Amino acid sequence: MCMGVATANSILVVSFARERLEVLVGDARKASLEAGFVRLRPVLMTALAMIIGMVPMGWTWRRRRAKRTPGRA
């Protein structure tokens, strides 16, 4: 799941940089930096939402594992 989110975000950053490259006519460095700055907030929001959504599953998995461990009181 994490790899899918990272891949989707990177595709969006690259496509935005290509659009800016057409506007800036050949300044690839400036287009890529602008794409990184503009897309940083949505990328971080997506990653944070995924992390927050996975935390309850991690807590549940830990509790279930503790119940199945033999020899512990």
- Cβ(14)–Cβ(28) under 8 Å? no
Q: Residue 63 has what pLDDT?
A: 66
**Alpha-carbon span 54 to 73, nearest angstrom:** 28
Residue with structure tokens 């990184």?
A: 36
Q: Residue 66 has what pLDDT?
A: 59
Q: Residue 62 has what pLDDT?
A: 66
- pTM to 2 decimal places: 0.62
Is the CA virtual torsion 62, 52, 36, 17 positive or negative?
positive
Could you say which residues of the chain have pLDDT below 70? 1, 61-73
Q: Residue 57 has what pLDDT?
A: 81
User: Coil, strand or helix: which one is 50?
Assistant: helix
Most distant CA pair in the chain, distance:
69
